[in-house]
Amino acid sequence: MRLRFLSGKGAAGPPGGRLQLEPAEAAPSAPSASSRTWLPPSFIRLWAAQTISMFGENFSGIAQAFIILKMTGSPTSMGLSMALGTLPRLLASLFGGVVVDRLERKRVLMVADIVSGCVDLVLAAVIMAGRVQVWHIYVVIATRSLARAFYDPALNSLIPALVDRKVLVRANATQQSALHIAAAAGPALAGVMVESAGAGPAVLLAGLTFLVSSLLLATTRASSRPTPSNKSAWQDLRAGLVYVRQRKWILSLTVAFTFVNMVTAVRMVVMPFISRDIYGRGMIGYGLTLSAGSAGSLAAIIVLAALKRLSHKHRMVSLSIAVIALSTVGLAFCPSLEWALPVCFVVGLTGPVMGSCANALYQEFVPSELMGRVFAFRATLAMALMPLANVAAGYASNRVGPVFTLAAAGLLSLPGVVLSLDARHAGSEVLAPAQQS
């Protein structure tokens, strides 16, 4: 059995609603009894498709960074490219959440992969024809960012329809392993490929992987039926925002993620220059730092996937943010690549713990029919400072250097530790509307 909040004005209506007991079997695509202790084949297919897609994203990202470094050599240009990787997603994310709650979520994932694959294939043709310009890179980055506004909420909303609630942390850790498996090998391989064969073949391979991912998704039985709605898109969007506003823990946790993403945005801008100017290793060294972080993430994922249950999820989120902040400061002052790689490994350890625990909190307490909008709200607010952080990191690197820019970003993320502790109220705030009636 599960509790569901009902209101005369929708799930986000005013206090005065009621709680109704509902059989667990009534949930869309409820997992079978055989999947309650592990992960079902439908989830594994989804995970495989995401892993392939993430490999493509890593190859394309390294190739694009290489072109910008070669053509401009400017931290400001790098910061602008990073901002364009965030801004379209930021602007479209809330609408993406509405779409995800209305359409078949598997098909949303497929379309997003097809769009990303097609733009990379076009870019590869332009590069190999010798006609590439920096603005071509900007257009491709912005288009993929727009596709991610739909891809991410669809993916996170589909997971609780495929697995039992008792293994949500395990499922989210496994889902995040797709990102880190690809990132552990992808950046280093992409760096070698770009240096030896050029950016064009790397981008071509990236485009093909997105299309393969879409084909694999088409063969899965992963499904999450949309909730019928007779309201306009704006009314559905408002209902989701009202639901979030009534729950302080969602707001606090999302702002905490904003601080973490700010650190990530700064690190992405300055690390290529630190690798080139301080480590003397160029793009290969930059790829190795990314791979070291992903290796740490994989180690954390193995531990999380082996756990049957994880208590005090909010505390694990807070601890992870603290480690990210302090490790980032340490990374800024590493004198060589040999010192930086272990620190990157530690930073990588924290990502899956933070993400898996936070996602499980959302999936456990947010109704399925609102999940796309809530995840989209988190993505929007959590990314709010990323474009500004990208541009500011490029500017600050020119003024005070990449080392002090990265150290300052780590210190500025510490307030997220306190904010994330509000997630301890998740279980009580979800019942607040009924208690007030």
What is the per-residue pLDDT across 413-429, written as a single tens digit (0 to 9) for each?
A: 888 888 888 777 666 65
Could you tell me if residue 365 is inside a domain?
A: yes
pLDDT (0 to 100) of residue 345: 93
pLDDT value for 113: 92
Instruction: Determine the pLDDT at residue 17.
Output: 43
Please report whether residue 24 resides in a domain: no
Q: What is the mean pLDDT of the chain?
A: 79
Give residue 225's pLDDT.
Answer: 62
Residue 182 within any structural domain of the chain: yes
Low-confidence ranges of the chain (pLDDT < 50): 1-36, 430-437
Tell me if 19 is assigned to some domain. Answer: no
Angstrom CA distances, 372 to 4, 147, 363, 366, 377, stand at: 17, 15, 10, 10, 9
In 46-166 the beta strands, taken as DSSP E runs, fall at none
The CATH number of residue 166's host domain is 1.20.1250.20
Determine the residue type at 390: N
Domain presence at residue 199: yes
Tally the domains of the chain: 1
Residue reference for tokens 């055989």: 34
Task: Look up tokens 């288009």; give the residue.
Answer: 143
Measured in residues, the chain has a length of 437
In a domain, residue 10? The reply is: no
The amino acid at residue 96 is: G
Q: 11 lies in a domain? A: no
Q: Quick one: pLDDT at residue 125?
A: 92
Q: Which long-range contacts (CB under 8 A, 24 or more apart) does 313-316 make?
A: 313/169, 313/357, 313/358, 313/360, 313/361, 313/423, 314/253, 314/357, 314/361, 314/420, 314/421, 314/422, 314/423, 314/424, 314/426, 315/421, 315/424, 316/353, 316/354, 316/357
Element (H, E) at 22: strand 18-22
Q: Of 95, 31, 17, nearest to 224 (Cα)?
A: 31
Q: Which helix (H) or strand (E) holds 299?
A: helix 282-306
Structure tokens at 332: 């800024």
- Run of H or E including 88: helix 87-102
Asked if residue 227 is part of any domain, the answer here is no
Contacts of 141 (CB under 8 A, 6+ apart): 64, 81, 84, 85
User: Could you tell me if 75 and 202 are in contact, meaning their C-beta atoms sit under 8 angstroms apart?
Assistant: no
Q: DSSP characters for 162-215?
A: TS-GGGHHHHHHHHHHHHHHHHHHHHHHHHHHHHHH-HHHHHHHHHHHHHHHHH
User: What token pair was written down for 356?
Assistant: 């898996």
Domain range for 430:
40-222+233-435
How many angstroms separate the first and last alpha carbons of the chain? 22
